[in-house]
Amino acid sequence: KSAGGRPLSLRGIALSFGNVRAIDGLDLDVAPGRIHGLIGPNGSGKTTTLNVISGYYAAKGGTMKLGDDVLPPGMPALRARKGIARTFQTPRVIGEASVLQNVMIGGTIEGQATFVEAMLSLPRNRRDERMLAAKAQGMLGVVGLEALADIRADRLQHSELRFIEIARALMLDPDFLLLDEPAAGLSGDEIERLAGLIKAISARGTGVLLVEHHADLIFAICDEITVLNLGRILAAGTAAEIRTHKEVVSAYLGA
């Protein structure tokens, strides 16, 4: 599996929680090397969509494909192996491990819950471990935090953790990267650095799905945007189309 190259497509994806139709027949396409923004008011189904694509929730209807590969519902570890990586709204790091170890864990996939599980999943073979460490150091360089490699993760600032999460996701050489509110809590300068990073990642052929409240960031870097409302698509198009879309402007952008 090489980084990039396969389109992600969702057709008729649905998921309810009790009587709430969180997403209701969603069609979505993200091409390799494109940045796709997913926006909409609170409760419109953005996080549910991201959880369905990454397999944390199992969709109850519809089909999802990565290239010609049909992805069975759920199965987050399988999806990660197939090249769908994600970050979380609240960064998930192991505080007592070093930054480098946290990034290395991204290359071992299975989403370990505890420090011990995560450390046990690292390669026992010295040579494999050195290769993984070198790759993790490279990914820290990609996000501009190589100097922090040996620091305990619980010493980091919130904004640094957001970038560490991206470095960890990149360890999978993903076809797709799902970013859940990556700009939350970042300063203006940090958001600019984030924008440059996301553009560089997509330029390598990775498709990016960006769930984000920060409208300036969305409009600055997205090739396409899908606007959700009550689990359905209110509008979809290029950033320029969405910015001037009447219903979107009145219902969501509040102008």
Residues that bind ligand ADP (CB under 6 A): 17, 20, 22, 40, 42-48
For residue 181, the minimal CB distance to ligand ADP (Å) is 9
Q: Give the integer Cα–Cα distance in Å for 238 and 222.
A: 8
Nearer to ligand ADP, 40 or 83 (CB): 40
Half-sphere exposure of 132 (CA within 13 A, CB side): 22
Cβ of residue 163: shortest distance to ligand ADP, in angstroms?
22
- Nearer to ligand ADP (CB atom), residue 133 or residue 235: 235
| Distance, CA of 36 to CA of 46 (rounded, Å) | 12
CB nearer to ligand ADP: pick between 20 and 31: 20
Closer residue to ligand ADP in complex, CB, 22/30: 22
Find out whether 31 and 7 touch, Cβ atoms under 8 Å.
yes
Q: How far apart are CA 104 and CA 100, in angstroms?
A: 6
**Shortest Cβ 234–ligand ADP spacing (Å):** 12
Helix (H) or strand (E) holding 176: strand 176-180
Question: Least distance from C-beta 193 to ligand ADP, angstroms?
Answer: 25
Distance of closest approach, residue 178 Cβ to ligand ADP, in angstroms: 13
Closer to ligand ADP by CB, 32 or 45: give it.
45
